[in-house]
Amino acid sequence: MSQTPTADELRNRLVDEILGRRSVPADVERAMRTVPRDAFLPGIELENAYTDQAVTIKDNPGKPLPLSCASVPSVVAMMLAQLGAQPGDNVLEIGAGTGYNAALLAELVGRGRVTTVDIDPDVALHARTTLNATGHDRVTVIERNGLLSAPENAPYDKIIATVGVWDIPLTWWNQLVDGGRLVLPLRWRGQTRSVALTRRGDELTSDSVELCGFVPIIGQNGEKTSPLNADATIRVDYDQDQLVDTDALAHTLLTNKPARDVPSAQRVGGQESFDGVWLRATAGDDRVCRLEVTPQALEQELIRRPATPGRSPVLVEGDSLAYLTVTREGVDPERPFRLGAAAYGPHGEELAQDLVTHIDAWGSARSVVPRMTVTPAETGAAAGHVIRKPESHIALTY
């Protein structure tokens, strides 16, 4: 008769699973094998606490995403590796969540200092309680809007955000030492990437850009979402600086069927990621948005199936659009899927050809990511394709 695995066994099994998929620094591995994630998730089945999945800890009524959750452990490991916290560091975390990530940070900095802030009083109290219970009472927990940071314990050697950030607040700049590291899930043109940045004077420069997904921070409203049909089962998400005529797009989807298909020369395998197409497109094209299509819309055949229905890149201009598609073809057993674009509207095929150009550019160097240089909006932008936001300018170059 098999015995039920213990928390220690489950924790080590999870870490082994993560190590099987990605490289993790020895100190991060040690912290993840030490800190009991289950202690930060009371009421959750033990085995569920040690699966590589996010766990909601507080719902957000009327909203599609929770108010707070425990992040996917492999993403936690990835971001801690990007941060590179060292013994003695003074670290600020934006988004306390369960307190688990702050506990890992406390293990990494040793006699250093960890401050974590959260806007929600219940979440902050939960983090304080669990950190105390697990012996991490030296972590400072502050109930506050994370956009305001925590000047009382500044300056910080490292800052990490565990919520999706659309713009980088000046408060974070002002409290990060020169040479310090900032890791955050940065949102632009409908996507989210965990970006690791190092401060050099009035510039933040990237050396790591990884795909991720996070609940957005409260208080930044630069992203817009608009339905493209009466039932809101087809939606477009875009940034405030983008001109999107949602009424014209809705009319186009209603009256222009079926989609025109424009294939690219790029094929992918069944387990091969092609999210880099989106990233590549944003480094030179301000028409990139996100298309969301629900299962209901697909069942009703309201639209040709996007590559990833819940979140696919789409080029939008006037009353026309073109979005990423993936089609199975049996020609190449190693890479049986062809990437392409579905076009709607009078200029849809031109947009589709432009999207195919982005696909082919990605296909020629699939693992290459752009260099990101961020400057405060008040100081002007660095060289490269610039995305302007109220508090920061983001320059992307390949």
Same domain as 271, residue 172? no
- Stated as kind and residue range, the H or E segment containing 204 is strand 203-211
Choosing from 68, 71, 194, 206, the catalytic residue is 71
Collapsed DSSP state (helix, strand, coil) of residue 220:
coil
CA gyration radius, the chain = 22
CA distance 74 to 53: 8
- Shared domain for 186 and 261, answered yes or no, is no
Total domains, the chain: 2
Considering the domain boundaries, does residue 397 fall inside one? no
Which CATH number does the domain housing residue 128 bear?
A: 3.40.50.150
Residue labelled with tokens 């050809």? 353
Are 251 and 198 members of one domain? no
303: which residues sit within 8 A by CB, 6+ positions away? 234, 253, 259, 293, 297
68 plus 119 within the same structural domain: yes
Residues 193 and 230 in one domain: no
β 223-227/234-239 pair status: antiparallel
d(CA 371, CA 92): 24
pLDDT, position 66: 47
pLDDT digits (tens, 9 = 90+) for 103-161: 999 999 999 999 999 999 999 999 999 999 999 999 999 999 999 999 999 999 999 99
The per-residue pLDDT for range 296-329, each reduced to its tens digit, is 999 999 999 999 999 999 999 999 999 999 999 8
Same-domain pairing of 306 and 158: no
pTM: predicted TM-score of the whole model, two decimal places? 0.93
7-11, 160-164, 299-303, 331-335: range with lowest mean pLDDT: 331-335
Query: Is the predicted pLDDT of residue 385 greater than 70, yes or no?
Result: yes
Asked, for residue 353, whether it belongs to a domain, the answer is yes
313 CB burial (10 A radius; 0-12, 13-18, 19+): buried
Pair (189, 263) in one structural domain = no
Residues 213, 218, 219, 220, Cα dihedral to 10°: 10
Range of the domain at 15: 7-211
Type of residue found at 6: T
Of 13, 65, 59, whose CA–CA distance to 216 is shortest? Answer: 65
Contact 193, 184 (CB under 8 A): no
| 67: in domain | yes
Same domain, 348 and 228: yes
**Cis before 66 (ω within 30):** no
384 φ/ψ angles, rounded to the nearest 5 degrees: 120, -175
385 is a domain residue: no
Q: Residue 225: what pLDDT? A: 96
Average pLDDT, the chain: 93
Place of tokens 């997904």: 213
Is 345 contained in some domain?
Answer: yes
- Residue 71 is a catalytic residue: yes
Report the distance separating Cα 215 and Cα 238, nearest Å.
Answer: 17
Say if residue 191 is in the same domain as residue 253.
no
> Do 382 and 373 contact (CB within 8 A), yes or no?
yes
Let me know whether 206 and 232 are in one domain.
Answer: no
**Residue 284 burial (CB count, 10 A):** 16
